[in-house]
Amino acid sequence: MAKTNKNQDTEGQILNAAKNVFQKKGMDGARMQEIADAAGINKAMLHYYYRSKQLLFEAVFSNAFSLLAPELNKILNDDSSIEEKVKNFTSNYISFISKHPYLPNFIIQELNRNPKFFEKIQKSAAFPTLEKFKSQVEEEVEKGILKPIDGEQLFINIISLNIFPFVATPLIKGFLKIDDKGFKQLMERRKTEVAGFIINSIKK
């Protein structure tokens, strides 16, 4: 049991170190030796757990995605109104990405570099599904609650408004002349600003 706990501790150290290095250097700039140093282990030990940087990246990504996906799935498939879904999705997404700011760029880089990895993630049981969300949008449009809008387009709008500031953080900080603290405060305000903007644009 002690050995198992030690293995889990070592793997946790590796994943945490890898997350930090990937965040600073990106997938291509990260080096296994640097990750090993950050984890306080030798490179041979790192390769014992993860044979390649790609496998390590996938583990870091999957670990973070497994925290986010169930929450998003829960919101998309619960019985709350579209208005509540927009509020909850935006708040949860921004909170999560604020804790894992490296993820959006990782995802985009990985989608372009290795589409097959995303296909593998997409097949997992936790991957968010949109069917109920789309049906609910259609139903609320028919009832006159929402203006005519396609559910898929609405989902893309929600994702785009939430993800862009994290993908373009240096650009946003440069335009607005704000530091890290100012950016965090801005993102906190966006939890209500984005939700309000979307809701006002779709409600009758």
pLDDT tens-digit map of 115-126:
777 777 777 767
pTM reported for the whole predicted model: 0.78
Residue 170, token pair as written in the block: 């240096």
Stretch among 1-10, 28-37, 193-202 having the lowest mean pLDDT: 1-10
- Domain extents in the chain: 1-51, 64-202
Q: Please, are residues 50 and 25 in contact by the beta-carbon 8 Å criterion?
A: no
Which residues does 156 contact at the CB level (< 8 Å), separation at least 6? Answer: none
* pLDDT score for 127: 77
Structure-model confidence comparison of residues 202 and 25, the more confident one: 202
Q: Which long-range contacts (CB under 8 A, 24 or more apart) does 145-150 make?
A: 145/81, 145/82, 145/203, 145/204, 146/82, 146/202, 146/203, 146/204, 147/201, 147/202, 147/203, 147/204, 149/202
Residue 144, token pair as written in the block: 């006159």
Q: Give the residue-averaged pLDDT of 147-171.
A: 94
Write down the CATH number for the domain with range 1-51.
1.10.10.60
pLDDT tens-digit map of 8-64:
789 999 999 998 898 788 778 899 999 999 999 999 999 999 999 989 988 888 887
Q: How far apart are CA 4 and CA 10, in angstroms?
A: 10
Nearest to 68 by CA among 200, 203, 163: 163
Name the CATH topology of 64-202.
Tetracycline Repressor; domain 2 (1.10.357)
Q: How far apart are CA 61 and CA 107, in angstroms?
A: 8
* pLDDT score for 3: 44
